[in-house]
Amino acid sequence: MVQYLVIVESPAKAKTIGKFLGKDFKVEASMGHIRDLPKSQLGVDVENRFEPKYISIRGKGELIQKLKKHASQADKVFLATDPDREGEAISWHLANLLKLEQTDKCRISFNEITKNAVKSAIKSPRQVDMNLVDAQQARRVLDRIVGYQMSPFLWKKVRKGLSAGRVQSVAVRMVVDREEDIESFVPEEYWTLDAMLLDPKTSAAFEAKLHGMSDEKLHVTSEKQMDLILGDLNDARYVITKVKKGEKKRAPSPPFVTSTLQQEAARKLGFSLKRTMSVAQQLYEGINVKGTGLVGLITYMRTDSARISKEAQTEARRFISDKYGEKFIPEELRVYKTKSGAQDAHEAVRPTHINFEPDSIRDSLTPEQYKLYKLIWERFIASQMASALYDTLTIDISASKYIFRAYGSNIRFKGFMKVYVEGRDDEKEEKDVTLPELKEGQEVNLKKLEPKQHFTQPPPRYTEATLVKALEEKGIGRPSTYAPTITTIIARNYIEKEKKLLVPTELGRVVTLLLKEHFQDIVDVEFTAHMEEKLDEIEIGKRNWVELLEEFYPSFNQTLRQAEKEVEHIKIEDEESDIPCEKCGRMMVIKHGRFGKFLACPGFPECRNAKPILEDAGVECPECKARVVIKKTKKGKKYYGCENNPTCSFMTWDIPAKEKCPECSSFLLKKKGGKQHLICSNSKCTYEKKG
């Protein structure tokens, strides 16, 4: 008979943990939450201290009976759900269903799914932490009240199927506000002046930029002002007035937390937030590594703490010394500061076994798993390495009454950059700039002056990654909420993605304006951030969750009732397309459905014609010369096919390149998995180009 029952959330996690424990243990999965608030009603008794009405989730009755049976046969039950609020709440619900005593030390948690971590946790179980449970309950009830009471309001006043949310509405507002900033932006003119100079001794060319007059920085705002400067520089001598040598250190980035992992995976791998978290979950729960068996490859991926255990740091330093040499180890252990307000329950995202180098286990991973694991592994190793060292050189050149300045920078010691360098949202790379050996008092020759007109640029639109960064900086949401929040506002058609950029729809603008006018607190960034702080206080036992809701609800309820009286129905006109309906001749309009945009006849219900909107891929079909359009499968995967389908059967998963085949003139395809590997789209042509 089984002596011990261990319950986790997922079958993958159960399988991995089962490998570490002996025959006396049975490991079962709860398949996530087993109890929740009902979907068909509010499920919160607002008149009775916000008592939640939990019910067993539909379809889980058989699973619950099985868990009860196993629990009744076991000497001891261990609840090993994830190490966060959500995981604690799942354990609490399980403890209630299985009728475990509240004082029973049944809860075990671990930051990584490794043999040592799991066995260590089994030896030191604890009671379910009710502060964590209350923090989760407070969020769930608060979000349910806001969502379930505001959504019907939006259905009546705007359109059916809409939703509002405590975090999602603020996220939409931020995207809308950014778009309004872009639209109202007034560009300002400014000019720069580059001097291309030559060292007469070596004929080495270098560039210097107009800096100012003496130590005063100069701002040139018109062509007239630039012409005056160019006039002053006629026949000027260019003399070196200052040569300053220096050294610059560049420290590595901290190991990943949830938000930085999502941002970097978007920058470097092109992963969506949802995809990043899905693949990270797989790496955390366990991968069957050839020669080793099932093992969790990374620590828990929902965290906002940059803390690293001493054991992991020691292991990393030993690895770095063996692989790269002593000079790549910093003199002191690197300690990274966790941002204010972060939960420090567990470590940063890091590999569980340093010796599992990405390439050594590549055959055990899917391409997605390999890419993300490599990113996490390299980021962590780099975070424990020595700083990079640069030799810097600043040269001031006087010409007439003006100072030009040239900057040189050369890397002397790569340090952590030998392994990994963080990506940048502005796509600018730091490059070495070598300047000739020049001395003060030396004259250099002018090759040419290049005046350039510029205009200030509006703030950029958010991407998924930069919106996560902004939400985190403003204290909106927590690691577990970023991906679902952004996925939801896109699915609800408040926001659209245009080449990875987030753009508000007309619906998003209308709803945001309505909420700003009538529900200021709900879409106020500071109010929402302050609410997050209060919810965090519940977790550490400093605040009562019911009292928090008693503070919030009366004002919210009054605002909702007032808005229901004051707001008239808002009609959002459908956007007209330039495509006529082939059945009745009316110009079709753009509608939004479950699977995105589509074209529909405005003559509904007399005319029910509708068809998908197809994006032009910009190339001709190699088989029938019609357009190639971008399509999606039912699961949302993108592919390229002929617009004449089903008459023409051409389709490909590979991305069309701008280049044409030199042999048959069909367009070339960028073959996935091969760097600059191009093949001809024409199935009858065998042309191939490898980069």
Supply 303's token pair. Answer: 């965290």
Q: Are 389 and 415 in contact (CB under 8 A)?
A: yes
Tell me which amino acid residue 162 is.
L
Contacts 24+ apart (CB under 8 A), 673-682: 673/367, 679/654, 680/622, 681/619, 681/622, 681/650, 681/652, 681/656, 682/622, 682/623
CA–CA distance, 257 with 339 (Å, rounded to integer): 11
DSSP for 66-99, please give it.
HHHHHHHH-SEEEE---SSHHHHHHHHHHHHHTT
Q: Are 497 and 187 in contact (CB under 8 A)?
A: no
CA–CA distance, 333 with 321 (Å, rounded to integer): 13
Query: For 58-182, where are the E strands, in sequence order?
Result: 76-79
Q: Which residues pair with 240 in a beta bridge?
A: 397
Name the nearest CA neighbour of 532 among 387, 339, 665. 339
Name the nearest CA neighbour of 111 among 382, 448, 348, 333. 348
Name the nearest CA neighbour of 536 among 131, 92, 126, 81. 131
Supply 120's token pair. Answer: 């260590």
Return left, alpha or beta for 636; rule: phi > 0 is left, psi -120 to 50 is alpha, else beta: left
Contacts 24+ apart (CB under 8 A), 112-117: 112/284, 112/296, 112/298, 112/299, 112/300, 112/352, 113/13, 113/16, 113/17, 113/284, 113/285, 113/286, 113/295, 113/296, 113/352, 114/20, 114/295, 114/296, 114/352, 114/353, 115/20, 117/352
Q: Give 605's contacts (C-beta < 8 A, 6+ positions apart).
A: none
Residue with tokens 């040569």: 243
Judge whether 284 counts as a catalytic residue: no
Question: Where are the alpha helices (H) located in 201-272, listed in sequence order?
Answer: 223-232, 258-269
Q: Which residues of 322-342 are buried (b: 16+ CB within 10 A; e: fewer)?
A: eebeeebbbeeebebebeeeb
CA–CA distance, 672 with 295 (Å, rounded to integer): 29
| Dihedral pair phi/psi, residue 370, rounded to 5° | -60, -45
| Dihedral pair phi/psi, residue 442, rounded to 5° | -75, 145
Judging by DSSP bridges, how do beta strands 293-295 and 287-289 pair with one another?
Answer: antiparallel
Judging by DSSP bridges, how do beta strands 205-213 and 189-198 pair with one another?
Answer: antiparallel
The residue annotated as part of the active site, out of 300, 420, 482, 494, is: 300
Q: How large is the angle between the packed helices 482-491 and 168-184, nearest 10 degrees?
A: 70
| Dihedral pair phi/psi, residue 626, rounded to 5° | -80, 180
Residue 487 CA from chain centroid, whole number: 11
CA–CA distance, 448 with 76 (Å, rounded to integer): 83
145 in helix, strand or coil? Answer: helix
Supply 172's token pair. Answer: 């939409």
CA–CA distance, 631 with 650 (Å, rounded to integer): 12
CB atoms < 10 A from the CB of 116, how many? 12
Active-site annotation, residues: 300
